[in-house]
């Protein structure tokens, strides 16, 4: 039985005017979105980094640099699907992903299952392999001041055919 590997992802994006708020591929109704080169989907970015970490494949900036015009305004679910292809090429299977979305505003609970579905679909895994948790920071720090949103993820991956 191959030994599972665990990867960690963390990301932060600042709120910005005139942008849609995209979290886990869901456009959440809110007066502001997040600043970033791509769609600034902070949750999906954390998941990507967790997966790349578990597979030993570096980080999101290595594969999708924000200096590259190809990723300007990119749908982060497409980036996640590209990571899925990298994992498949490396014979890696996603066992489970757990996440924490840290946002004082807006409340994201109503969108959680849609985010779970989007991430699972992009990765080609059953939805029950993805877990999404959300928390405020009780008004503390940059999240609490509603300056931005942060996300953390851990991914468990096994490389088939390795001891
Ligand atoms: Mg990011």
Its pTM stands at: 0.96
pLDDT digits 0-9 by tens, 15-46: 999 999 999 999 999 999 999 999 999 999 99
**Hey, CA dihedral for 124, 38, 65, 113, is it positive or negative?**
negative
Whether residue 163 is predicted with pLDDT greater than 70 in this model: the reply is: no
Whether residue 162 is predicted with pLDDT greater than 70 in this model: the reply is: no
What's the 122 CA to ligand 1 centre distance in angstroms? 17
Whether residue 132 is predicted with pLDDT greater than 80 in this model: the reply is: yes
Share of the chain above pLDDT 90, in %: 89
What's the 127 CA to ligand 1 centre distance in angstroms? 23
What's the 98 CA to ligand 1 centre distance in angstroms? 17
Phi-psi sector, 15: left (phi>0), alpha (psi -120 to 50), beta: beta
b or e along 97-112 (b: 16 or more beta carbons within 10 Å of the residue's beta carbon)?
bbbbbbbbebebeebb
Residue with the larger pLDDT of the pair 146 and 68? 146
Average pLDDT over residues 120-132: 98
What's the 150 CA to ligand 1 centre distance in angstroms? 9
What's the 28 CA to ligand 1 centre distance in angstroms? 17
What's the 31 CA to ligand 1 centre distance in angstroms? 20
Measured distance CA(130)–CA(113) in Å, rounded:
10
Mean pLDDT of the chain: 95
Nearest residue to 99 (alpha-carbon basis) of 84, 114, 116, 117:
116
Residues ≥6 apart with Cβ < 8 Å to 64: 38, 71, 74, 79, 82
Whether residue 97 is predicted with pLDDT greater than 90 in this model: the reply is: yes
pLDDT at 75 (0 to 100): 94
Measured distance CA(58)–CA(49) in Å, rounded:
8
Measured distance CA(36)–CA(66) in Å, rounded:
9
What's the 1 CA to ligand 1 centre distance in angstroms? 34
pLDDT at 14 (0 to 100): 98
pLDDT at 151 (0 to 100): 98
CA 101-152-109 angle, to 5 degrees, is 15
């Amino acid at each position: 039985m191959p030994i599972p590997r665990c990867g960690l992802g963390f990301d932060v994006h600042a709120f910005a005017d005139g942008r849609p708020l995209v979290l886990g591929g869901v456009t959440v109704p809110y007066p502001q979105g997040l600043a970033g080169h791509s769609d600034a989907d902070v949750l999906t970015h954390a998941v990507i980094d967790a997966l790349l970490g578990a597979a030993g494949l570096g980080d999101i900036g290595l594969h999708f640099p924000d200096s590259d015009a190809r990723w300007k305004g990119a749908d982060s679910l497409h980036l996640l699907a590209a990571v899925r292809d990298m994992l498949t090429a490396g014979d890696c299977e996603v066992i489970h992903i757990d996440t924490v979305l840290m946002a004082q505003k807006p409340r994201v609970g109503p969108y959680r299952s849609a985010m779970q579905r989007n991430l699972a679909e992009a990765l080609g895994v059953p939805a029950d392999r993805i877990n999404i948790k959300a928390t405020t920071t009780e008004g503390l720090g940059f999240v609490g001041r509603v300056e931005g949103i942060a996300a953390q993820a851990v991914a468990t991956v096994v490389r088939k055919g390795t001891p």
